[in-house]
Amino acid sequence: MQRHPAAFKENAAEALLDADLQRALGLAESGFGLKRRKAMAALPEFDALCDQATAIKDHVLDHLDVYLQRFEKAVLNSGGHVHWCEDAEQARQTILALCRSASAKMVTKGKSMVSEEIGLNGFLEANGVQPVETDLGEYIIQLADEPPSHIIGPALHKTKDQVSDLFHRHHPAIGYPDRLEEGEALVGEARSILRHKYLQADVGITGANFLIAETGSTVIVTNEGNGDMTQIFPRMHIVLASIEKIVPTLEDAATLLRVLARSATGQEMSVYTTFSTGPKRAGDADGPDAFHVVLLDNGRSKLLGGNQRDILRCIRCGACMNNCPVYMAAGGHAYGATYMGPMGSVLTPHFAGLHAAQALPFASTFCGRCEAVCPMRIPLPKLMRELRSDAHSARLTPARERFWLALWLWAAQRPRLYRAISSGVLRGLAFLSRGRGRFHWLPLAGGWTAARDFPAPQGDSFLAQWAKRRKPGS
């Protein structure tokens, strides 16, 4: 797998031949689908809840500056610090400086897609700080040296057998000699290894699902409790979050939480929902001595005024990819980017540039299921179509496709000519098919016949036959 979005087609071809990946995707597809449908069925007001959630985020995006400043003030009031970072480099440097100020050799990390977005792990390692991922999925792919293949299930591409092998390759050196096969045993081993890390870590880094303006709180949801241990034990807690994660009030956060878990895993609530407000206060039993929020823009504020603004409502539930036929065939790594599936195909061109990532908005059948399941009502096909349009206008699409499109358009505006050409081609094809009904191969149709037979036409076009029938009488 090549880790850049221009390689989508080659990556997808490789993915389709990977039997383990296909098995893992098959399990994920049926599992996610079933759980989400059950959760929907159990909550008749889910649609109304989605409307509310959408309205909250739209309101926030209209007043993002106001709420961000309110959030900063509340964080400062609770004894924390806020660092505004325009791009990935600034965020990396800020976090490194914070780690150095805590003389950190090792940091534990809760799951954070924004940390993937800024390439934090590689950067910290290169600068002498060892990051340890504590979410089980992230822990697995860190061992495997792979990026996440799904925003909520980073190791979704791996089968249990592959995880057994992976652990057995890495864990004997640290005192775990046996190859384990049961899921529970594998989880147990990872937990016991991680337990020591939580206590040794100098800094804990987490992401945030929401930032609450009125209280200055950051919110994470996990199913393993790893996020809590990451942020409570070390002396310093750094929260890395992008600016659109803000919501005005605790009440708003509650509304979004009700939508998030149901859309993501089909749970009513994640097992742990953790609110963090500032460092440990006098009298608190535990918590970090220092609390820092690193706020990342990385191009998001540029999306506010444009035709892609709706993507900023995204709460990273993953429902769009769980219901995407393309994602479920090709897997997340094929996208060659931090974010994958429909939401990734919209976001990646803004991070990587449309020139580098234009294959992605075209990697959709426009089946519309992503939009139908999106709890934040993001019109994903429309956003991808806008990106296709931008790519076309900037002449980034392949010259060959542009040529055929232009020629076809020219003819389609000339009905008589269009009819004459299609009649000629159709009658030719019908003759060549000699009643066999289909072609195994056709010139200029390799994109079709590489995988399918091409159905032969029945003879002349309907319009030509209709005109002929009408002539004698009319």
Partner 1 sequence: MPPASPGQKNVALFVTCLVDMFRPSAAFATVKLLQDAGCIVQVPAAQTCCGQPAYNSGDKAGAALLASQTIRMLIDYDYVVVPSGSCAAMIKHHYPQLLADDAEMAALAQAVADKTFELTQFLHDVMHYKPVAKALENITYHDACSGLRELAVQAQPRALLQTLVRETADGEMCCGFGGTFCVKYTGVSAAIADKKLDRFSATGAELVLGGDLGCLMHLAGRAARRGLPLQFRHVAEILAGDVTAPAIAEPEK
Nearer to partner 1, 293 or 384 (CB): 384
Going 386 to 392 to 396 to 399, the CA torsion angle's sign is positive
Instruction: In angstroms, give the least distance from the CB of 311 to partner 1.
Output: 18
Nearer to partner 1, 175 or 416 (CB): 416
DSSP states along 164-182 = HHHHHHHSGGGT--S---S
Nearer to partner 1, 103 or 413 (CB): 413
Q: Determine contact, residues 115/154, Cβ cutoff 8 Å.
A: no
Considering only CA atoms, which of 160, 104, 90 is closest in space to residue 132? 104
Instruction: In angstroms, give the least distance from the CB of 42 to partner 1.
Output: 19
CA–CA separation, 124 and 361 (whole Å): 32
Instruction: In angstroms, give the least distance from the CB of 253 to partner 1.
Output: 31
DSSP state of 220: E
CB count within 10 Å of CB 65 equals: 11
Instruction: In angstroms, give the least distance from the CB of 177 to partner 1.
Output: 40
Instruction: Return left, alpha or beta for 97; rule: phi > 0 is left, psi -120 to 50 is alpha, else beta.
Output: alpha
Q: Determine contact, residues 120/131, Cβ cutoff 8 Å.
A: yes
Residues in contact with partner 1 by CB under 8 A are: 9, 12-13, 16, 33, 325-326, 329-330, 362-369, 371-372, 385, 387-393, 397, 401, 405-406, 408-409, 411-413, 415, 418, 422, 426, 435-438, 445, 447-448, 450-463, 465-467
Q: Give helix 183-200 / helix 136-144 axis angle, nearest 10°.
A: 90
List CB contacts of 167: < 8 A, sequence separation 6 or more.
Answer: 143, 176, 179, 180, 186, 189, 190
What is the SS3 assignment for 19? helix
Nearer to partner 1, 243 or 320 (CB): 320
Nearer to partner 1, 146 or 390 (CB): 390
Instruction: In angstroms, give the least distance from the CB of 328 to partner 1.
Output: 8
Instruction: In angstroms, give the least distance from the CB of 343 to partner 1.
Output: 17
Nearer to partner 1, 32 or 167 (CB): 32
Instruction: In angstroms, give the least distance from the CB of 442 to partner 1.
Output: 11
Q: Which amino acid is at 429?
A: L
Instruction: In angstroms, give the least distance from the CB of 246 to partner 1.
Output: 30
CA–CA separation, 165 and 357 (whole Å): 34
Instruction: In angstroms, give the least distance from the CB of 386 to partner 1.
Output: 9
Residues β-bridged to residue 247:
212
Nearer to partner 1, 42 or 425 (CB): 425
CA–CA separation, 138 and 310 (whole Å): 28
The stretches of 374-445 forming alpha helices (DSSP H) are: 380-393, 399-412, 415-433
Nearer to partner 1, 240 or 391 (CB): 391
Instruction: In angstroms, give the least distance from the CB of 37 to partner 1.
Output: 10
Nearer to partner 1, 37 or 63 (CB): 37
Considering only CA atoms, which of 310, 437, 322 is closest in space to residue 380? 310
Nearer to partner 1, 143 or 442 (CB): 442
- In 250-297, at which residue ranges do the beta strands (DSSP E only) sit? 272-276, 290-296
